[in-house]
Amino acid sequence: MISPLQYLFVLLNKLSVRGRDNVVDPRGADIKRCRFRIRGNGNEFRCRSLLKQSAVMIEGDGNRILIEAGGELRNLRLWIKGNNCEIRIGSQLIFNGGRIVCAGNGNGVSVGNDCMFAEGIEIWASDTHPVYQEDKLINPSRPVSIGNHVWIGTNAMILKGSRIADGSIVGMGSLVRGEIPADSMAVGNPARIVKSGVRWDKSAIEA
């Protein structure tokens, strides 16, 4: 028998799940006007935050998407294609629109706590299509790691293998394809460090 919570979740969203032992757990979340498409076995989606007007797509086996409590995520596309991959989003996060793509085997995207992401942000832990040179794969998927209290500006792109440390800022339209040290400001395409030892406040706007 379907529980009242499950009934309400299905009523407010579009849910399509095919396969065995897949879990969709919205307990403690506020999820509305979202689309879910899961294909495969042993996949898991758990959310404890606000998630609205978003899409979740999982293709493969043993994948996980975990969203911790206290966040506000809107107009977001979460896509996993592969096996044993994970997208993990920390608590108290604000995400105003964009896409997170994770593909491959054992790959992952991790985002820390207390982050603020603007709109149009792209995070890609894979090129999604293999490229070979003399039968050798030359563009393997690589994980993306974003630390705590990171601010990412509008239309920024974070490419596979990137690591953004705690307290950093990535400017509008920047392209990150490497490491950003803690408490740094990076801008440009490719992004480069323009200031170090910075700090920012999520709750205050300068007059």
Q: Summarize pLDDT for 29-65 with one digit per residue, the tens.
A: 999 999 999 999 999 999 999 999 999 999 999 999 9
Listed residue (75, 71, 31) closest to 49, CA to CA: 71
User: Partners of 67 in the beta sheet?
Assistant: 47, 89
pTM of the model: 0.93
Listed residue (172, 167, 189, 125) closest to 180, CA to CA: 167
| Residue 1 pLDDT greater than 50, yes or no | no
Residue ranges of domains in the chain: 4-196
- Token pair belonging to 57: 């797509």
Indicate the pLDDT class of residue 12, thresholds 50, 70 and 90: confident
Indicate the range of 5-14, 82-91, 158-167 predicted with least confidence. Answer: 5-14
| Residue 97 pLDDT greater than 70, yes or no | yes
For residues 22-32, average pLDDT: 92
Question: Considering only the top CATH level, what class is 4-196?
Answer: mainly beta
User: Partners of 175 in the beta sheet?
Assistant: 157
pLDDT score of 206: 57
- Evaluated on CA atoms 98, 111, 171, 96, the torsion sign reads positive
**Tens of pLDDT, residues 121-156:** 999 999 988 899 999 999 999 999 999 999 999 999
pLDDT score of 203: 77
